[in-house]
Structure 1
Amino acid sequence: MPEVYNIGVDIVDRHASDPNKLALIFEDEDGRVTRYTFAQVKEASDKLAMGLRGLGVERGDRVGILLPQSPETAIAHAAIYKLGAIALPLFTLFGPDALEYRLSDSGARAIITDPTQLPKLMDVRKALPDLRAIIVTGNHAPAGVHAFDDLLAAAHGRFTPVRTVADDPALIIYTSGTTGNPKGALHAHRVLLGHLPGVELPHEFFPQPDDLFWTPADWAWIGGLIDGLLPAWHHGVPVLAHRPRKFDPEQAFALMARHQVRNTFLPPTALKLMRQVSEPRARFDYKLRSIGSGGETLGGEILAWGRETFGFDINEFYGQTECNLVLANCAGLMNVRPGSMGRAVPGHTVSIINDEGDVLPDGEHGHIAVRRPDPVMFLNYWNNPQATTEKFIGDWLLTGDLGRRDADGYFWYLGRTDDVITSGGYRIGPAEVEDCLLKHKAVAMAAVVGSPDAARTEVVKAFVVLAGDVQPSDALAAEIQHHVKTQLAAHEYPREIEFVSELPMTTTGKIIRRVLRQREIERKGVPQS
């Protein structure tokens, strides 16, 4: 690990000496395609960095990025890193409540967004005294908001990137937990270098000649950003930017064929949907050579379908926001065992430990843990030292997952140690959803759990006790769902609502979610392992 290191300089400036080196292919929702070289991205990110500095953004300040996959998103990341500020990726499906919490908790000084997202920010701006500047893409902006294009046009002179060391903070990604609000995982610049082996192995010794990367995973998540965009640009590999509002498996095949995508990260839910497409090899002239997948366990059927459909093995990998890509498969090096997350990626010490922090023998069940120091491990939870301390047993970081390791070093996932819901590749904390439900006037109490689902692994299910004389109805359930979808996040709303007269509680008044979760497992007839 070098002493001096900056992600923005690494992913952009290092490749900009070749004026024709392709960095980004952007296909918008109307099918228009625009290409950008690294030299163009460098010029734009330098100008944006100067523009942000002119708005008062300094080293260490947090800057939100509320954008979909787009050139402005990639430019913003490079600019923020080169400025020595801290990037705060935000998902475009977040509602006002989710945005307000993350912007307030991080103390964000500025945010970059687009016209479709701007109204949500304007709704909460008064509650964010630290937020000095809102920048909107394009060349038009309402009063009190800055136009992205105008900032770049007004920037003159030469920008010199801030000197950062590898352990300096670079970005905050919020992650959901069992209790309370999401926690901001603060990562250092070194996180990208630490990720490289975990990307290169599942993508079969990435990069290779003519590689081109795309993922439907949003760049606001660690899976889209640090499993895709940033490592590809580190290696000078061009990236395709295109994320439709709703994933369409037919269009995914067509898109990858149209642009001759060679490498992709496809979450298991996307693979399950793509499996429903008939005769893809006969209909689409795709040229993929590697697929990585993670977030949920892949089964033998999906692996077999992938081998038949693409002509190679899908490589599953494992990690989490706080410590990502520490386990992986690489079919070119080892046999892919269906259901296994793979073996420890070189550079990471991963073990199964007990509650006291002792390493357990192969075959025994325990906590999946990673030993520090580790190059991909987060620095801390933003403004939350207690949660940071609780994440560790000695020098072992607890992933929150239970598992086992076999005699050959393969790891096997057994389940969560908490109530976090895994749905469509997203990890959703029940507490934030419950808090949003309680803001609806008809809801007196609510409990949220994951209910088994074949396509998404789990769906969010809410058990709701209604207030006063309010009567349950399908219309009320739809109204409550809309409330969560618009106020919190479209991917976190409860797809199932059950009205109940009471909830299982401890003697101290805490909801016992495991009782409700077990009820759902039995109701849907899920086999017990």
Structure 2
Amino acid sequence: MPTFYNFAAQVDEWAVKHPDKRAVWELDEQGQEQILTYEELRRFSNRIANGLGSIGIERGDRVLVLVSRGTTAYGLYLALLKLGAVIMPGSEMLRQKDIEYRVNHAKAKAVIGFDGVLAEVDPIRGQCASLKHFVTIGESKEGWISLDHLLQHQDEEFECAQTRSDELAFLSYTSGTTGGPKGVMHVHGWPFAHLAVAAKQWLDVREEDTVWATAGPGWAKWIWSPFVSTLGMGATAFVYKGRFGAETYLNLLQKYPISVLCATPTEYRLMAKVSDLESYQLQALRSACSAGEPLNREVIDTFRRVFQLTVRDGYGQTENTLIVGTFVGMEPKPGSMGRPSPVARIAIVDEEGMEVQTGQVGDIAIDRNMVALFKGYLDDPERTAKAFRGEWYITGDQGRMDEDGYIWFEGRSDDIIISGGYTIGPFEVEDALVKHPAVAECAAVASPDPERGNIVKAFVILKKGVTPSDELIAQLQEHVKTLTAPYKYPRKIEFVEELPKTTSGKIRRIELRQMERDRLRS
């Protein structure tokens, strides 16, 4: 790891090497394209850096970025890295409560958002004392300055900050089982470490590739694949701005020269179910990867049979990088997560931090000295300390390792819900539900689902005098969507008279999860 490193400077080097090559290739639902070459992206990000600098955004400032897929996201992330500011990725689906928490927890100085998020930010301004700058991707409005306005007459040259490899660069928030989301701290050296294995040995990105990674800005996975793994290798990032549709995705893969695909298991599962799958010709596609949740064997077998393509599973977290996967040239064991990264020491450990025997279930753990491991949770030494057990970082997932070194996922060791690639904390769902006047108490757990892997299910105790009904279920679902990001809402709600609890009164979600699994088997 070099002493000084800035990923944006590395991308600018590609602009010198092949200035006219496509860097970002954007396509909307109407078929309209917008293309930025590497040189155009370099100049675009420089203008943004100069514009943001002109209003007072400086090195070390924390900036919440709430934007959708497209060329602007790439320009913004590169510009903020060039300034030496700290990027706080945020989903465009975040609501007032989510935004207020992140801003206040991180003491963010600025928020950059698209038109749709302005109505979520404006009502909380008075509760966010640290916020000084409000930038919109759309037209200027009261209290907001448009990015287009900022870019007027800005110089296309900018001297990139010489950031230290151990200097904070990304502050991503991830759900916890209790309390608010945790601020995961990653430094400027993280992309350098990520490129070494994830980009080259898992995604298998090459300079000549067109890479379609379907994750949206706001998620650590967007930084992983569409941003770092693609631009860092000098390849072309393909961006589709439309909604997911299995046939739509297959048509795009057939029409455009996409050679590398990185999608969620849910997206692969739905594509694999298309009735006329054999009619599609994906001639350019040579590398396909999946991450976010376990990939089932049926999908792997289907893509092998129809397209002679092995979908390689991968596992990592917001707190680290790709740590387990089916790497290039490795024979997959369908259903397994793959083998540990060649640059990481991974083990299955017990409650004492001791490695368990082959085939025994335990906690999936990472050597705490791994270069790409996070630097802790922001201002939260207690939760940071709980993440470690002796020499190991404990991922929170459980698994077993077979005699060939392949790791098999067994489930979460805590109550986190992973649905369709989204990580959801039960506390966030429950906190929203109990704010409804009909709800006395509730618990949210993962419920197995054939398409999303799991969905959020809520067990709800109603207040006296409230009658259960389908109408009330719909009302509660909409209530949650209003208070927190829509992807967190409970797709199933069951009204109950009581919840299983410990002698100290804590809800035993593990019993509810097991009940859901038993129902699936029966």
2:100 is matched with which residue? 100
| Stretch deviating more after TM superposition (371-380 or 154-163) | 154-163
Aligned-partner SS, 1:240: strand
Deviation at 1:286, TM superposition (A): 4.6
In the alignment, the residues of structure 2 paired with residue 143 and residue 299 of structure 1 have an alpha-carbon distance, to the nearest angstrom, of: 50
CA contact (8 A) 1:11 1:230 kept: no
CA contact (8 A) 1:201 1:328 kept: no
Residue 72 in 1 paired to residue 72 in 2?
A: yes
Distance of aligned partners of 1:394 and 1:294 in 2 relative to their CA distance in 1, 3 Å threshold = same
2:245 is matched with which residue? 248
Deviation at 1:327, TM superposition (A): 1.0
Q: What TM-score do the two structures reach when normalised by structure 1?
A: 0.95
Residue 15 in 1 paired to residue 15 in 2?
A: yes
Residue 184 in 1 paired to residue 183 in 2?
A: yes
Distance of aligned partners of 1:104 and 1:13 in 2 relative to their CA distance in 1, 3 Å threshold = farther
1:314 is matched with which residue? 311
1:301 is aligned, of 298, 316, 321, to: 298
CA contact (8 A) 1:323 1:378 kept: yes
Deviation at 1:157, TM superposition (A): 7.1
Residue 445 in 1 paired to residue 444 in 2?
A: no
Identity %: 37
In the alignment, the residues of structure 2 paired with residue 142 and residue 286 of structure 1 have an alpha-carbon distance, to the nearest angstrom, of: 47
Aligned-partner SS, 2:270: helix
1:476 is matched with which residue? 472
Residue 396 in 1 paired to residue 395 in 2?
A: no
2:49 is matched with which residue? 49
Deviation at 1:154, TM superposition (A): 4.0
Aligned-partner SS, 2:337: strand
Residue 267 in 1 paired to residue 264 in 2?
A: yes
Q: For 1:87-486, list aligned pairs within 5 A.
A: 87-138=87-138, 140-156=139-155, 158-196=157-195, 197-203=197-203, 205-207=204-206, 210-244=208-242, 246-330=243-327, 332-486=328-482
In the alignment, the residues of structure 1 paired with residue 506 and residue 133 of structure 2 have an alpha-carbon distance, to the nearest angstrom, of: 41
Distance of aligned partners of 1:288 and 1:14 in 2 relative to their CA distance in 1, 3 Å threshold = closer
CA contact (8 A) 2:205 2:211 kept: no
Per-residue CA distance 1:4-55 (angstroms, 9 max, x = gap): 1012212245434543121000112332101101111111211211222222
CA contact (8 A) 1:451 1:459 kept: yes
In the alignment, the residues of structure 1 paired with residue 127 and residue 251 of structure 2 have an alpha-carbon distance, to the nearest angstrom, of: 44
CA contact (8 A) 2:8 2:82 kept: yes
In the alignment, the residues of structure 2 paired with residue 450 and residue 476 of structure 1 have an alpha-carbon distance, to the nearest angstrom, of: 21
Aligned-partner SS, 1:307: helix
CA contact (8 A) 1:202 1:291 kept: no
Aligned-partner SS, 2:116: coil
Aligned-partner SS, 2:486: coil
Query: What amino acid maps onto 1:69 in structure 2?
Result: R
In the alignment, the residues of structure 2 paired with residue 316 and residue 18 of structure 1 have an alpha-carbon distance, to the nearest angstrom, of: 32
Distance of aligned partners of 1:471 and 1:12 in 2 relative to their CA distance in 1, 3 Å threshold = farther
The runs of 5 or more residues in structure 1 that have no matched partner are none
In the alignment, the residues of structure 2 paired with residue 517 and residue 361 of structure 1 have an alpha-carbon distance, to the nearest angstrom, of: 27
CA contact (8 A) 2:426 2:445 kept: yes
Query: What amino acid maps onto 1:360 in structure 2?
Result: V
In the alignment, the residues of structure 1 paired with residue 276 and residue 190 of structure 2 have an alpha-carbon distance, to the nearest angstrom, of: 40
Query: What amino acid maps onto 2:461 in structure 1?
Result: V
Query: What amino acid maps onto 1:156 in structure 2?
Result: D
In the alignment, the residues of structure 2 paired with residue 518 and residue 349 of structure 1 have an alpha-carbon distance, to the nearest angstrom, of: 31
CA contact (8 A) 2:459 2:495 kept: yes
In the alignment, the residues of structure 2 paired with residue 16 and residue 471 of structure 1 have an alpha-carbon distance, to the nearest angstrom, of: 67
In the alignment, the residues of structure 1 paired with residue 288 and residue 119 of structure 2 have an alpha-carbon distance, to the nearest angstrom, of: 37
CA contact (8 A) 1:218 1:225 kept: no
In the alignment, the residues of structure 2 paired with residue 458 and residue 421 of structure 1 have an alpha-carbon distance, to the nearest angstrom, of: 7
In the alignment, the residues of structure 2 paired with residue 403 and residue 285 of structure 1 have an alpha-carbon distance, to the nearest angstrom, of: 34
In the alignment, the residues of structure 2 paired with residue 43 and residue 227 of structure 1 have an alpha-carbon distance, to the nearest angstrom, of: 23
Query: What amino acid maps onto 2:433 in structure 1?
Result: L
Aligned-partner SS, 1:491: helix
In the alignment, the residues of structure 2 paired with residue 157 and residue 215 of structure 1 have an alpha-carbon distance, to the nearest angstrom, of: 29
Distance of aligned partners of 1:52 and 1:509 in 2 relative to their CA distance in 1, 3 Å threshold = same
In the alignment, the residues of structure 2 paired with residue 94 and residue 144 of structure 1 have an alpha-carbon distance, to the nearest angstrom, of: 20
Query: What amino acid maps onto 1:57 in structure 2?
Result: I
In the alignment, the residues of structure 1 paired with residue 52 and residue 497 of structure 2 have an alpha-carbon distance, to the nearest angstrom, of: 53
In the alignment, the residues of structure 2 paired with residue 93 and residue 107 of structure 1 have an alpha-carbon distance, to the nearest angstrom, of: 21
2:4 is matched with which residue? 4
Distance of aligned partners of 1:46 and 1:13 in 2 relative to their CA distance in 1, 3 Å threshold = farther
Query: What amino acid maps onto 1:501 in structure 2?
Result: E
Query: What amino acid maps onto 1:149 in structure 2?
Result: D
Aligned-partner SS, 2:339: strand
CA contact (8 A) 1:66 1:112 kept: yes
Aligned-partner SS, 1:523: helix
| Stretch deviating more after TM superposition (145-154 or 224-233) | 224-233
Deviation at 1:80, TM superposition (A): 0.8
CA contact (8 A) 1:13 1:38 kept: no
Distance of aligned partners of 1:105 and 1:286 in 2 relative to their CA distance in 1, 3 Å threshold = farther
| Stretch deviating more after TM superposition (358-367 or 229-238) | 358-367
1:30 is matched with which residue? 30
